[in-house]
Amino acid sequence: MSRYIINGGKPLTGEVSIRGAKNAGFKQIIASMLSDETTHLLNVPNISDVHITISIAESMGSIVTYTGTHSLEITTPEIKNQIVPHGTGEKSRTAFMFVAPLLVRCGQATIPMPGGDKLGARPLDRLFDCYRQMNINVEEFDDHLHFTTTGIKAVDFEFPKPSHTVTEVVLMTCALAKGESTIRNAALEPEIDDLIDMLNDMGAKIKRDESDSKIIHIKGVSFLNGTNHQVIADRNESVTFACAALATKGSINILRINPTIIETFLKTIEEMGARVNRGDDEVEVTWIGPLKAIDIETEPEPGFMTDWQALFSLVLTQAVGSSTIIERIFPSRFQHIATLNSMGAITKFFNPEIADHNAFYHFNCESDKPEYFHGVKICGPTKLKPINIEINDLRTGAMATLAALTATGQSTITGVEYIERGYEKLAERLKSLGADIDYIKT
């Protein structure tokens, strides 16, 4: 397995450019398959999640050509295979999103159970409930899902709780359904709006309600064209480098990012005492003195994003006082805390006293287990120790890398293939900021 050798303890300084969003790029490759015409995507991140998506698309008949390091053309003149292959499909949660173009163009789809990071059950029941109202039959088996339809119908559907990825799958499916659909309590993430922009450029008719942005109206069309589209910048990557600056007591200019899409995070670190300078397409994050402890809860957009909390946990180990994180999106997403504890962090798990769990948490309560904790207290500042660790999760891997850069001494992070799912050339870019990090590829 590949690994990072890290000698930590140095402040990171300099500037870094942000690539296209992982959580937008691979989905837009899938969305291109709704049309038989060519789509040209720009600012596509060169990461393994994108490579897996391309591999699945090609197995179904897509012709994918890189026209540059971060740009590609996708043409799917016909769908030749309605079955997502188990090998690649189980590696990533992208797999179930292929159901949209397969149903629209072929009327059926067979999808392996979603893979990806171990975050707890994903709320696919919300997709199934919506699909059944759209005249789509859903059959669940031990290792796969089978979908069929005799004709996709428009729908007026309200999600019981907003779901980022499910909202996107429903939008892709409704774009070519007969009639006008309305999706209520839809998710608000900027990656969704980026997908809407792309689909509308392809000829779809999708818009958020002017009086309530959680309502999306879709007027079905009979076909979609190809388009040219630039993928939105990666919010998670931006926050990663901001956390790197604060944890190592450095200063980083983060380029090619609209600060408004990470404004919740920026306001949080400003409250803690960090200096933040915003531009039109960049942001500077600087440690200027001891950070104050803070309490946060993860929430859907526009709240504090669940993908940020592992990296932010590291920052809290360096803040003065006792901080808390309450995780409201996934039932089990504190796997990274064990890594921090092994490096000397002082933490304590707890469960918040909540009157109505179903109203407070955004995961399905039946996915919860008695052994899961939904809150953690983190005390700081803590002088972290080096670590030798094998990782098996993207966000934990990124956090462990930054923690090793924060600690004084040599650490080894093995299994960095997981990090490469979501970060392009992370070691190289950290090195450009002054990190002592070597990437040993095997």
Boundary residue ending a domain (165, 198, 230) = 230
Same domain membership, residue 237 and residue 198: no
Same domain membership, residue 287 and residue 196: no
Same domain membership, residue 364 and residue 415: yes
Boundary residue ending a domain (195, 230, 265) = 230
Distances (CA, A) of 317 to 46, 101, 305: 32, 45, 19
Same domain membership, residue 122 and residue 82: yes
Same domain membership, residue 120 and residue 269: no
Q: How many Cα atoms within 13 Å fall on the side-chain side of residue 429? A: 21
Same domain membership, residue 372 and residue 335: yes
Same domain membership, residue 277 and residue 353: yes
Of 173, 177, 185, 138, which is closest to residue 154 (Cα–Cα)?
177
Is the link from the previous residue into 302 a cis peptide, with omega within 30 of 0? yes
Same domain membership, residue 277 and residue 140: no
Express each pLDDT in 28-62 by its tens digit.
999 999 999 999 999 999 999 999 999 999 999 99
Tokens 């960090």 belong to 274
pTM: 0.94
Name the strand (E) or helix (H) holding 400: helix 394-406
Distances (CA, A) of 370 to 160, 324, 330, 336: 23, 20, 14, 19
Backbone φ, ψ for residue 418 (5° rounding): -65, -40
- Answer whether residue 92 shows pLDDT above 80: no
Express each pLDDT in 118-140 by its tens digit.
434 456 889 999 999 999 999 98
Residue 294 DSSP class: -
CB atoms inside a 10 Å sphere around CB 83: 17
Express each pLDDT in 198-231 by its tens digit.
999 999 999 999 999 999 999 999 999 999 999 9
- Answer whether residue 89 shows pLDDT above 80: no
Tokens 């915003």 belong to 278
Same domain membership, residue 281 and residue 186: no
Boundary residue ending a domain (165, 197, 230) = 230
Residues 6+ away with beta carbon under 8 Å from 425: 46
Express each pLDDT in 237-266 by its tens digit.
999 999 999 999 999 999 999 999 999 999
- Domains of the chain: total: 2
- Answer whether residue 117 shows pLDDT above 70: no
77 pLDDT tier (thresholds 50, 70, 90):
very high
Q: Which domain holds residue 371?
A: 3-19+233-440
Same domain membership, residue 342 and residue 210: no
Mean pLDDT of the residues in the chain: 94
Express each pLDDT in 339-388 by its tens digit.
999 999 999 999 999 999 989 999 888 889 989 999 999 999 999 999 99
Same domain membership, residue 237 and residue 224: no
Specify the length of the chain in residues. Answer: 442
Express each pLDDT in 16-28 by its tens digit.
999 999 999 999 9
- Rounded to whole angstroms, the Cα distance separating 109 from 98 reads 8
Of 125, 74, 134, 140, which is closest to residue 104 (Cα–Cα)?
134
Same domain membership, residue 408 and residue 271: yes
Q: What is the CATH number of the domain that holds 364?
A: 3.65.10.10
Name the strand (E) or helix (H) holding 415: none
Express each pLDDT in 417-440 by its tens digit.
999 989 999 999 999 999 999 999
More confident residue, 396 or 94: 396
Contact 24, 45 (CB under 8 A): no
